[in-house]
């Protein structure tokens, strides 16, 4: 198992830092997500270390450091090409904005540090003696498969409203249940999500879409009503569908795409999401299912600050799907060819992957795509300047109109994609275009 070897290496490197701090008279532990992931046998991301040493003492002990967040007690230590966040044991002051503590104060005991953390499985520390400091029952929560807050959920979510999304992400990713008091805490605090920057919201949401349980994540996100409480208003088509899901469960109609299990009590019609290989296809499938069109998809991603290229791909898939509604069985092949030309072959393939994941048979569509010898002007066996020379007409906007026409002819198989056929088709098309203009 590759990740286990990598895990062991990073874990040992982290423990080396712990030893170094201890040899210099400080207390130190591996803490937070890395302890949780190590116990779950999952790949380790960041290795965080908590210590009694003050930031300036940490800076003095290691040769390669970055003063990442001195005010909050954090120093980044670079060792063996990896970086480790070393943070002084701390308590957090009041949170007046549901995002950041107004102030932090350093404390001497690791247990006090663990008490400020969000969930019991994130509030464990691993010592150099191999023992786990687990004052809130994090290991029990892992064994029981539940998301449980340290102390009162409402207090934890009031401190940092993003934690409500984190609860959902961990539950979905690990296949855990959300304990009833945690769920109630989410419901009663959901309005506070409006205080969280959109970048943080979308990073969490995007991680959920890419992660192990996107269907469960979406189910919780919609059922909790969290998403309609974000800072920016999201397109009405999205809000409406999300709200319908909250009230009625999975009432979206996928029947035209082949039946999917619909179970009112769980993620029902979202079950196809994990069958798709990447977050973007999952986003597209989700939004198409919700009836969000291409232009609303772009608006949604603008609000979420998700990058242009990704948003364009997802919106193009939604657009492609939407355009097909204009065709019936007898004209559908034409619809596929036209849209493949308008978007691209890879967007067509994306839509097919989604439909297959939804249980639809797409033999005919695949065949249409395979039969298409060209799908873009660049693939045509004739160039604009050749047309201009051959027809004896000075270059102008007519060239792209004509090339587009030739592309449609060649793509639909009415003429072959070879120079001779394209030039002779160009000649008669030009004649028609001139006559049409008369």
Ligand X SMILES: Nc1ccn([C@@H]2O[C@H](COP(=O)(O)OP(=O)(O)OP(=O)(O)O)[C@@H](O)[C@H]2O)c(=O)n1
Return residues touching ligand X (CB under 6 A). 32-33, 45-46, 48, 117-118, 122-123, 160, 162-163, 166
Which is nearest to 220 in space by CA: 196, 191, 241, 242? 242
Q: Which is nearer to ligand X, 105 or 434 (CB)?
A: 105
Minimum gap (Å) between residue 124 Cβ and ligand X: 9
Cα–Cα–Cα angle for 336, 338, 344, rounded to 5 degrees: 80
Minimum gap (Å) between residue 180 Cβ and ligand X: 21
Minimum gap (Å) between residue 143 Cβ and ligand X: 18
Minimum gap (Å) between residue 197 Cβ and ligand X: 13
Q: Which is nearer to ligand X, 123 or 290 (CB)?
A: 123
**Nearest 5°: phi and psi at 25?**
90, 10
Minimum gap (Å) between residue 169 Cβ and ligand X: 7
Q: Which is nearer to ligand X, 52 or 122 (CB)?
A: 122
Q: Which is nearer to ligand X, 118 or 280 (CB)?
A: 118
d(CA 19, CA 40): 24
Q: Residue 381: is it exposed, middle or buried by C-beta count within 10 angstroms (0-12/13-18/19+)?
A: middle
Which is nearest to 162 in space by CA: 124, 202, 222, 219? 202
**132-133 and 125-126 strand pairing:** antiparallel
| Closest chain position to ligand X (CB) | 33
Its sign, for the CA torsion 387, 388, 390, 393, is positive
Q: Which is nearer to ligand X, 9 or 334 (CB)?
A: 9
Minimum gap (Å) between residue 207 Cβ and ligand X: 7
Q: Which is nearer to ligand X, 17 or 123 (CB)?
A: 123
Q: Which is nearer to ligand X, 160 or 296 (CB)?
A: 160
Minimum gap (Å) between residue 133 Cβ and ligand X: 13
Cα–Cα–Cα angle for 276, 280, 281, rounded to 5 degrees: 35
d(CA 71, CA 52): 15
44, HSE (Cβ side, Cα atoms, 13 Å) = 25
């Amino acid at each position: 198992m590759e990740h286990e070897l990598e895990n062991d290496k990073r874990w040992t490197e982290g423990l080396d830092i712990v030893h170094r701090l201890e040899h210099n008279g400080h207390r130190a532990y591996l803490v937070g997500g890395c302890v949780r992931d190590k116990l779950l046998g999952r790949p380790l991301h960041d290795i965080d270390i908590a210590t009694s040493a003050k930031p300036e003492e940490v800076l003095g002990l290691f040769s390669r450091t970055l003063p990442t967040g001195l005010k909050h007690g954090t120093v980044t230590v670079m060792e063996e090409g990896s970086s480790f966040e070393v943070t002084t044991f701390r308590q957090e002051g009041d949170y007046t904005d549901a995002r950041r503590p107004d102030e932090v104060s350093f404390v001497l005991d690791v247990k006090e540090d663990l008490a400020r953390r969000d969930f019991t499985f994130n509030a464990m520390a691993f010592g150099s003696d191999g023992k786990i400091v687990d004052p809130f029952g994090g290991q029990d929560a892992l064994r029981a498969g539940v998301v449980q807050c340290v102390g009162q959920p409402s207090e934890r979510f009031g401190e940092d409203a993003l934690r409500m999304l984190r609860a959902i992400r961990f539950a979905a990713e690990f296949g855990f249940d959300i304990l009833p008091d945690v769920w109630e805490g989410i419901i009663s605090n959901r309005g506070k999500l409006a205080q969280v920057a959109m970048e943080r919201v979308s990073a969490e949401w995007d991680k959920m879409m890419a992660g192990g349980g996107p269907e469960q994540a979406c189910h919780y996100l919609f059922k909790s009503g969290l998403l309609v409480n974000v800072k920016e208003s999201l397109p009405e088509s999205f809000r409406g569908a999300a709200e319908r899901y909250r009230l009625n469960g999975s009432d979206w109609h996928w029947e035209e795409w082949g039946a999917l299990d619909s179970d009112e009590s769980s993620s029902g019609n979202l079950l196809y999401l994990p069958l798709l290989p990447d977050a973007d296809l999952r986003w597209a499938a989700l939004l198409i299912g919700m009836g969000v069109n291409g232009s609303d998809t772009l608006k949604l991603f603008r609000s979420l600050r998700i990058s242009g290229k990704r948003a364009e791909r997802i919106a193009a898939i939604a657009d492609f799907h939407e355009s097909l509604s204009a065709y019936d069985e007898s004209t559908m092949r034409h619809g596929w060819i036209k849209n493949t030309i308008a978007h691209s072959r890879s967007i067509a393939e994306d839509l097919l992957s989604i439909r297959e994941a939804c249980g639809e048979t797409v033999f005919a569509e695949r065949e249409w795509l395979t039969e298409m010898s060209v799908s873009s002007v660049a693939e045509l066996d004739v160039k604009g300047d050749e047309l201009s020379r051959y027809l004896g007409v000075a270059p102008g906007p007519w060239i792209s109109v004509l090339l587009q026409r030739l592309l449609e002819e060649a793509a639909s198989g009415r003429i072959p994609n070879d120079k001779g056929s394209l030039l002779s088709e160009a000649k008669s098309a030009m004649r028609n275009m001139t006559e049409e203009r008369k």
